Chain A
Amino acid sequence: MTGYAFVLPATIVIGVFGLFPIGYAIYMSVHRWRIRRGAFVGFDQFERILGDGFGFALLLAGLLSIALGHWLWTSALAGRGARWLLVGKVGAALTLVASGVAMALGYGLMRQTGDARFLDGLQRTFLYGAISVPVQIGLALVLAALLFQPLRGRALYRMLFFLPYVTPAVAGAAVFRAIFSPREERLANTVVGAFGIEPQRWLFEHRPVGQLVFGDFAARFGIELTGILAGPSLALLVIIMFGIWTYVGYNAVIFLAGLGAIPKDLYEAAEIDGATGVQRFWAITVPLLAPVTFYLTVLGFIGTFQAFTHLYVMRESAVRGAVDTASLVIFDTFYALNDFGLAAAQSLVLFAVILAITLLQQRLFGRRALRA
């Protein structure tokens, strides 16, 4: 009983503030709920979001095919003979192509029959995470490695790089809005102007970056860059830059803690063996920081999928929803459409996606990180 008594406070807190809201969201999602509770509708809200089951099934099949492709590839490299290597590689390539086709078809069908606004938001969220997290972590790692050196004023630099993280998101976003204003005289346009580039519309630009940069070139070959291949809109890219600016310092501080835990004799031994600074970084620092990198990656993806405040502050009507990630769509469904049931179902879908990505990361990188 003593043990139960010790865990009771935590159980109550987690139950009330963690599990109950999730349970209540599930309850709301299976009802029509526009401000007040309506009829029980079962999984209708999820069907409204995901469309008819076929598209979703096709998308899932595509995702599973990636896993199959990954298994074939790793099996082929596992040294079971030249024949198996060839079969495995060809099989993996074909599976990956098939998975791409299945996902594209499945997503297309889902958009046609489901909630295109939310699904597009989810796609933007993926783009946001896929660009933001690796850049954040890469920059933070480099920064941490530099700050780990015996530099003069190191503490000051650490504080400066950490400042964006403690700056209120609304204030930081307001400054970014001013910097990335479409006005010619604003900072961002002044900088690009120095390189002979025309003033850009930045936060008011809905067109994808790929189209802006390579659009004319691609058009010469009759190719129109659209969809996920064209990348995020310029407006979303600015917001991604804001996210990177905010979290790089925080990630660097966590990396610094990880760097402090790496035994110095490893570096000394490598130095004696003639390893250069870059070689030491790749052969010692990066592998031994894998648990930290894994931790930051998981947190980074969860954070980007839940990102809201700066997106809300920086979004403009002129971009026609081009920066509306899943969390913004959910907010609009709740507060502008007052469709609480649908908003709850959208939240649960987002929750499932975050959970799936976290589990996937755990599966793909977690064990390797723990081994390190």
Chain B
Amino acid sequence: MLPIRRSIALASVVLLAGFALAQRDYEDVDPTGQTVVFWHQHGGVREAGLQEIVAAFNADNPYDITVNAEYQGSYPEIFQKMLLLVGTPDAPNLVVAYQDQAAAYAFADGVIDIRTFLDSERWGFDADDFDDFFPGFIASDVNPVLGGQLLGFPPNRSVEVMYHNLDWIAELGFDGPATTPEAFEEQACAAAEHGFSGSVTGGRSLGYEMTLDASRFASWTFAFGGDVFDVETNRYTFASDAAIAAMTFLQDLFERGCADIVTERFGDQTNFGLGTTLFTVGSSSALPFYRDAVEAGANFDWSVGAVPHTTQEPVANVYGASVSITAGHAPEAELATWLFVRYFTSTEAQAAWARASNYFPVRASVAADLGDYFAAEPAYETAFGLLPFGVSEPVAPGYAFVRDLVAAEMGAIVEGADVVTSLSRLTDEANRILLDQLADLD
């Protein structure tokens, strides 16, 4: 019920905000001949795939729009560059941005509310086309604390999944991977005691290796039936009953020696591949890296599944950066930018992008074109099946900083700190930061 409730709440915010905010009129704007600069963080195979999509758009669009997709470093690097350019004509027309980054740009009136285009009869999607998008995906770009503006549009998403070693689970005498926290604890602790026979290193075995990260915190809290942000009050809820239960569960797992934190970059992937870690939780976009790690390591049968949950249905943490259209450019350029975004999120482009990037497409219909890909990557199909159960993390400004606080408190909790005290302190601090941010909006 949780995803549905959240989607309805967010959709209501969108509708209400639609009446409240003035919109620029693009109906009579002519985007012919415009050049669009797109800053992104994709490298390697993903960049090649993106450039193909861009080339197809440049060749076929009827307005002779030219898109220049430029690699500009990692997400933080792009964000740092953008902070100095946002709201100026020197900013790119289109930029990848996490939701909280887009919210930061909004402080300088540096991004356009994309509903302006969605609502356009001439430039928006028709109703059937729009319904093809996974509803939670677009909702995750709606910023409830900034008047419900749609500050970005999703070209892709990932989902947090639990990676598991099927051979080891069978070896331990279990029928299948854990779907509940109790089963997870039982299997993880059994794995910590009985190493995997196929392990490459034969070193210390672990049930679960966890990165100290706000997305892990959110995933476990969602799985325990809670949330980390209340969209009705616009406040963080890190000390909810579900969050306390989730963190107490993890603390117990660590105290029993069944779990440990990840201490080296991608150490969980490496150890999973070597057959010394039974479970990890991470982004579905890492599937190819896990596959490589397993093939180079203990070469066992593995798969992914939902994070073990207490809810009736699984709840999956869906996330990913969107693209934001920057303000400060001519209306013709802004419209041209939107037309590229519309193309990028079309069924055709999404199928190509999903194959190239291993991200999930944002349209349900794209699955029909991915049959062969699903057959080749069964874990990808399994993770794709979790999308209808998606919930997203907060989009509040300042969330980047709050994420660091969450990670730090997780570190304290797994070392034995009092869960309630830690989470209450975290909630107070996070909400203080949020209020401080919002004070500057007035």
Identify the A interface with B (CB < 8 A): 32, 34-36, 38, 177-178, 181-185, 204, 206, 316-321, 332, 335-339
Contact = CB atoms under 8 A, between A and B. Distances in A.
Contact of A320 (B76, B109, B411): B411
Contacts of B212: 316-318
Contacts of A35: 83, 86-87, 104-105, 107-108, 110
B397 interface: yes
Contacts of B110: 35
- Residue of B104, B263, B412 most packed against chain A (CB within 10 A): B263
A36 B86 CA distance: 9
5 contacts: A35-B107, A36-B109, A336-B401, A337-B398, A339-B436
B277 to A, nearest CB: 13
A335 B261 contact: no
B371 interface: no
B74 interface: no
Contacts of B436: 337, 339
B209 to A, nearest CB: 12
Nearest to A336: B401
- Residue of A34, A35, A182, A337 most packed against chain B (CB within 10 A): A35
Contacts of B401: 332, 336-337
B318 interface: no
Contacts of A182: 263
A276 B203 CA distance: 55
Interface string B406-422: 01111110000000000
Interface of B: 76, 79-80, 83, 86-87, 104-105, 107-110, 203-204, 212-213, 261, 263-264, 397-398, 400-401, 404, 407-412, 433, 436-437, 440
B79 A204 contact: no
Contacts of B410: 317
B397 to A, nearest CB: 7
B264 A338 contact: no
Contacts of A336: 398, 400-401, 404
Nearest to B406: A317
B411 A338 contact: no
A328 B437 CA distance: 20
B108 A183 contact: no
B230 to A, nearest CB: 22
B107 A335 contact: no
B80 A335 contact: yes
A116 B440 CA distance: 22
A132 to B, nearest CB: 24
Nearest to A332: B401
B323 to A, nearest CB: 19
B90 to A, nearest CB: 15
A339 B104 CA distance: 10
A317 B411 contact: yes
B404 A332 contact: yes
Contacts of A339: 436
Contact of A204 (B80, B261, B400): B261
Contacts of B87: 35-36
B440 A34 contact: yes
Contacts of A36: 87, 107-109
Query: 4 closest pairs, A vs B, by CB?
Result: A317-B407, A336-B401, A318-B411, A320-B408
A38 B440 contact: yes
A314 to B, nearest CB: 12
Contacts of B412: 320
Contacts of A317: 212-213, 404, 407-408, 410-411
Nearest to A38: B440
Contacts of A335: 76, 79-80, 83, 400
Nearest to A206: B411
A324 B80 CA distance: 20
Contact of B107 (A34, A178, A316): A34
B415 to A, nearest CB: 8
B397 A338 contact: yes
B130 to A, nearest CB: 32
B104 A321 contact: no
Contacts of A321: 408
Contacts of A204: 261, 263
Nearest to B211: A317
A32 B397 CA distance: 16
Contacts of B408: 317-318, 320-321
A338 B263 contact: no
A339 B110 CA distance: 16
B345 to A, nearest CB: 28
A32 B263 contact: no
A338 B84 CA distance: 11
Nearest to B410: A317
B9 to A, nearest CB: 26
Nearest to A331: B80
Contacts of A338: 83, 104, 107, 397-398, 437
A177 B397 CA distance: 32
Nearest to A174: B265
Contacts of B203: 185
B39 to A, nearest CB: 17
Contact of A32 (B83, B109, B440): B440
Nearest to A177: B264
A316 B409 CA distance: 12
Nearest to B107: A35
Nearest to A33: B440
